[in-house]
Amino acid sequence: MDEPAALADRFEAQRGRLRGVAYRMLGSLHEADDAVQETWLRLSRTAAHAPGRPDPAAGGPGPVENLPAWLTTVVSRVCLDMLRTRGSRREDFVGGRVPDHIAAADAHTPEEEALLIESVGRALLVVLATLGPAERVAFVLHDSFAVPFDRIAAIVERSPAAAKKLASRARGKVRGTPAVPQADPAVPEPDPAGHRRAVEAFLAAARGGDLGALLSVLAPDVVRRADPAALPPGTAAEIHGADAVARETVLLTRNARHAAVLLLDGIPGIVVAPRGRLLLALTVTVRAGRITSYEVVSAPSRLRGLTLAVLPD
């Protein structure tokens, strides 16, 4: 084992990678830093033992021969324990009062967390929050960091075959199955690609506050419906017409900074998720390449009822 100062330097060289592992597993920068710090404490305790003697309290694999692998194992075990203790991810990371503090959340988001969200992908963070603890750990380790299943198995306390099934099941949930939008009598062939293009164009226009681009993607008689909690006080739960919907959307451009397109029950829609926390979902109806209606869902019970998945490449 290295001398304390040398070991600390070697740990610091791994801190950024460990933080990335923990952030993907936990979806919270604060908790990720806690997990990394706990990993350092366990490494320190292991280093204090006589060479060749594992420290059961450290929760690691004993003598440290391959430090990066050892640290990945320990931080993953710490994260798994935190996820299990936390309970339901969807209870913790779904819903809440939205309109007054979406912008405030961004104002207090450290630049480093914004960079982490960008590197992981806001949509993926939202979907990862729907996985069970062992599924999430197995998926992140294998699909993001190429950790072999025999090592994952030791972390999640399953056989390698079971660990592989965990990752496969998680992968299926993350990717989902695109659904065919409901056919309209005026549109003989449903167009999933066109639906996605319309949703992406709407979000791009909303982010830019581009009234003209919004009007071009909204049908003239478009309807916007919303859960009351998603709206500023005094705002109608339902509005009609492209001009009214587009002008309201421009006023709420700041919310679009926290938005991403993903599959909602198999159909492209939009989520608003500051710091990866799902606060709003927009279920969208598209006909002939234009949005004819969308609903803003904010009630936690309704958000938890949605099946979320990332869009295929």
pLDDT tens string 123-141: 999 999 999 999 999 999 9
86 touches 92 (CB < 8 A) = yes
The answer, yes or no, to whether residue 15 has pLDDT greater than 50, is: yes
The helix/strand count (H/E) of the chain reads as: 16, 7
pLDDT at position 107:
41
Give, rounded to a whole angstrom, the gap between the first and last alpha carbons of the chain: 45
What's the pTM? 0.82
Check if the beta carbon of residue 149 is closer than 8 Å to that of residue 163: yes
State mean pLDDT over 44-55: 63
Both structure tokens of 209: 């506050």
pLDDT confidence of 235, banded at 50, 70, 90?
A: confident
CA-to-CA distance for 306 and 53, rounded, in angstroms? 49
Q: For position 51, what pLDDT does the model report?
A: 54
Residues 273-292: what's their mean pLDDT? 93
Candidates 209, 224, 243, 226; CA nearest to 285 is 224
Reference 285, options 268, 297, 271; nearest CA is 268
| CA distance linking residue 65 with residue 51, whole number of Å | 11
Q: What are residue 278's DSSP bridge partners? A: 94
User: Angle at the Cα of 238 (from 233 to 243), degrees rounded to 5?
Assistant: 100
Give pLDDT, residue 116. 80
Do residues 60 and 66 touch, judged by C-beta distance below 8 A? no
| pLDDT grade for 113, boundaries at 50, 70 and 90 | confident
Is residue 194 a contact partner of residue 217, using CB atoms and an 8 Å limit?
no
Q: Which residue has the higher pLDDT, 56 or 42?
A: 42
Q: Choose between 32 and 87: higher pLDDT.
A: 32
CA distances from residue 171 to 26, 104, 152, 204, 298 in whole angstroms, order as listed: 17, 33, 15, 28, 26
The alpha carbon torsion through 245, 191, 182, 215 (nearest 10 deg) reads: 10
Which range is least confidently modeled, 2-6, 46-50, 170-174, 293-297? Answer: 46-50
User: What pLDDT does 115 receive?
Assistant: 80
Q: Give me the chain's average pLDDT, please.
A: 85
* pLDDT for position 95: 58
